[in-house]
Chain A
């Protein structure tokens, strides 16, 4: 990851805010406002307990930018540390398993979602705009799919596995 300027902590928006359902625009990863957003996402994620990823939509901006950091998570295997990707797409997704996930933008519920546990993603780094291919697995793969969904204007409720797959969120999450 190229170094980023210091970011600001932004307010996280919650469903049903329409921005969460808005597919993101492609961005120029070298543009100053995109670099600033990348830094803001990391700063906001860092102060949010238990948060392992944040997409532009969640701070009110419908752009194809998100941050991920699964460092230290017990279910992570491959871990690329703290990073931001722009214009990311899933190249391949295999070994789907069902898990229960929650989202800072959906405070009341969790949902059962099938997500690939082997994942290849292509995207651009902020600042340089370099295209990178990221291969990952386990929890980092789940986090990436969840964030890429946000940049496509989808939340986990768009993917839940059936009428008994939405649950009240436990308070400590």
Chain B
């Protein structure tokens, strides 16, 4: 019995245009890659994608397969091997964090520092900057038994120092 190949993380950044995902995933399929989790979004018009892939091909072969994308597509591509995570995060209770207000330096740092102090683990996060408004949305796992009102109070204090609005609400999740 052989060990499964290590997971490779392929990160692609660059100017957006139609067809990048198709080209990237065709190239990965071409080296026998099996895609696992991935995420892709546009950050102010910049294409940004991370995809986890397992393949019997070597990292060098995967890098070669990515070369046309990097050369003709004007994209920056990074391929690296990831060790299996030491522990699967995801324990605890999920909460949705919403922040919005006038843009200024330090909003994300101040708010996420509060969560970190309470052992909150961010499992999904997105921020957007409009012409004047800054918006942050995140999903946070708080350990079982967390004093949620204390977290909310600390967030409110940090938010008032920043002049932004913040809310932290539990996510309903039900087995049907």
Q: Which residues of A does B touch, CB under 8 Å?
A: 50-53, 75, 99-104, 110, 139, 142-143, 146-147, 156, 163-164, 167-168, 170-171, 173
Contact = CB atoms under 8 A, between A and B. Distances in A.
A45 to B, nearest CB: 11
Interface of B: 39, 90-91, 94, 124, 126, 139, 171-176
A51 B176 CA distance: 6
24 contacts: A50-B175, A51-B176, A53-B176, A75-B174, A99-B172, A100-B94, A100-B171, A100-B172, A100-B174, A101-B173, A101-B174, A101-B175, A102-B173, A102-B175, A102-B176, A103-B175, A103-B176, A143-B176, A146-B176, A163-B39, A170-B90, A170-B91, A171-B90, A173-B173
B62 to A, nearest CB: 24
Contacts of B90: 168, 170-171
Contacts, number: 50
A171 B174 CA distance: 13
Contacts of A53: 176
Contacts of B172: 75, 99-100
A71 to B, nearest CB: 14
